[in-house]
Structures are given as structure tokens and as C-alpha cells.
Amino acid sequence: MGFDLQDKRVIVTAAASGIGQTIARSFLDAGARVHVCDLDEELLEAFRKSAPGLGTTQADVADPAQVDRLFDDAIARQGGLDILVNNAGIAGPIGPIETLDPEGWNRAIAVNLTGHFLCARRAVPLLKQAGGGSIANLSSTAGLFGCPNRTPYASSKWGVIGLTKTLAMELGPSGIRVNAICPGSVAGERIERVIRAEAESRGVSVDDVRKSYLKQSSMRTFVERDDVASLVLFICSDRGAKISGQALTVDGHTETLTV
């Protein structure tokens, strides 16, 4: 099934690697014009060289001035915007709340939630100028369940869903649809880092934590990056034209996030 995204103007945040890069490549493959940002300049340059036509900006989405630079670069290059994918997010500190420091909490909220706000704030006038469009906010199944020992992450991802539903109501009359994507555990280095950190925090083996994560899903599997990208493209294309205000899971059906 193809997606009608030819020449759509797209921004994807935190897209030099991981899920963000897979999403950005999927948009490029569908004929869209894509501009991405990331903190890692070397990864950005490597992605740009491997993807002709890709625009890049080094930016931290938690910094309003750097978000402004991202959007200024994208507008200069693409002339406007049709789709924003707020992908930027970090795992945040892991452990019981009494062991966590405010700095780690603040950084997780700044990247995972405030960054979405700052990018949406700049994107909305452009989407209105375009006559409508789509915002896809990356949340998580942790935004739908309590998640012990992941307080900053889960709180920020719940906040993303609140932001999504509110913006869908606010922007619907302008033809702008807003949805949250809630992946389960996505296979790759990031989830492996989380597993190792949780194993250390709980004093158990890495294999025990990995098995407990797999048991959280009815299908006993991690999600692939392509699974997430396919859902993002669907809701941002005309095939998803009547879908807005939703928290859409791609997770093999999460039963619980407790262990």
C-alpha cells in the first residue's frame, strides 16, 4: 500500500539515528521533502550523505532558540511545512523516585514534552498557511500505563498524550490533525541500554529484565522501527485524513508495564 506523500514538506526531530532516521527515510522513499534535526553532528552528516535531498540542522529541541533555527532552516529550504513528526525523546534516569535527582527529571521533561511543545508552536502557523496538515507526536505505551522506576519518562509520555488531545481539539477546525504514536519496546540499542540500566538498578540479570519486558506484550515480541514508521506515514497521509486526537499503539498489545 503506497502513501500519497509526494512533495510533502516534513520535519522529523531527533532523526540522525534510530526510530527517527527510519521514519525520515520512509518519508523520503514516499517522495516527501524532509528536513531533520539531531544533537549529534557526525550522525547528521552521515545521514545527509546517505540520503540525497535531505536537509539537516543540529539542534536541541529543548532549547527555544535552537528550535527557531531548525524551523528557519527548514522554511528556507522547503518553503513551508505540511507534516511535523515530534520524535525527540530520551530514556531519562531509571530507579526508585527517592534515588532520582531533579536535574534528570527536568531534562527528561524538557526533551520529551517541552520539545514537542516548542516544535508544535513553530509548526502550527506554517500548517495553517498550508491549509492543513498533520502532527505526529511520539509518546509510548509508558504514556498509557504506570511504569515503575521510570517516573520521569512515563510522566513526560503521559504529558505528550495530553498535549496531543488538546491540540487536536484546538487545531481541528484549521484542518490540522494531531495524533500520538505509542510504541512498545522497540528493538535496538536504546532499549538494550534501558534494560541494562534497569537490571543494575534492581540488582538482577540483564536476561531476567529482557524476559520481563517481552512478557509485557501479548505477542511476546519487541517492535521494529519499520512498524513505527509505517504507522506514522499512514496517519500523516491522506489515508489517515479523518484520524485525529488518538493515542495509537504499535506494541503487540501491552498488558502491563509492571514486572
Residues 6 or more apart whose CB falls under 8 angstroms from that of 192 comprise: none
The model scores a pTM over 0.75: yes
Q: Has residue 159 got a pLDDT over 80?
A: yes
Please check whether residue 74 lies inside any domain of the structure.
yes
Q: DSSP letters of 140-153? A: -GGGTS--TT-HHH
* DSSP letter assigned to residue 96: -
Please check whether residue 200 lies inside any domain of the structure.
no
**pLDDT value, residue 15:** 98
Q: How many whole angstroms separate alpha carbon 154 and alpha carbon 157?
A: 5
Please check whether residue 165 lies inside any domain of the structure.
yes
CATH number of the domain that residue 135 is part of: 3.40.50.720
Please check whether residue 156 lies inside any domain of the structure.
yes
Do residues 180 and 168 touch, judged by C-beta distance below 8 A?
no
Average pLDDT, the chain: 94
Most confident of the ranges 67-71, 94-98, 189-193? 67-71
Q: Mean of the pLDDT values across residues 119-145? A: 97
**pLDDT value, residue 33:** 98
What residue type is assigned to position 250 of the chain? V
Please check whether residue 21 lies inside any domain of the structure.
yes
Which tens digit of pLDDT belongs to each residue from 93-107?
999 999 999 999 999
Q: How many whole angstroms separate alpha carbon 71 and alpha carbon 215?
A: 41
pLDDT-derived band at 259, boundaries 50, 70, 90:
low
Shortest CA distance to 256 belongs to which of 145, 174, 152, 159? 145
Q: Quick one: cell of 181?
A: 504514536
Range of the domain at 139: 9-184+224-250
Q: Quick one: cell of 236?
A: 500523516
Number of H helices, E strands in the chain: 9, 7
Q: How many domains does the chain have?
A: 1
**pLDDT value, residue 1:** 53
Do residues 16 and 47 touch, judged by C-beta distance below 8 A?
yes
pLDDT-derived band at 43, boundaries 50, 70, 90:
very high
Q: How many whole angstroms separate alpha carbon 180 and alpha carbon 35?
A: 20
Do residues 89 and 111 touch, judged by C-beta distance below 8 A?
yes
What residues are annotated to the active site?
153
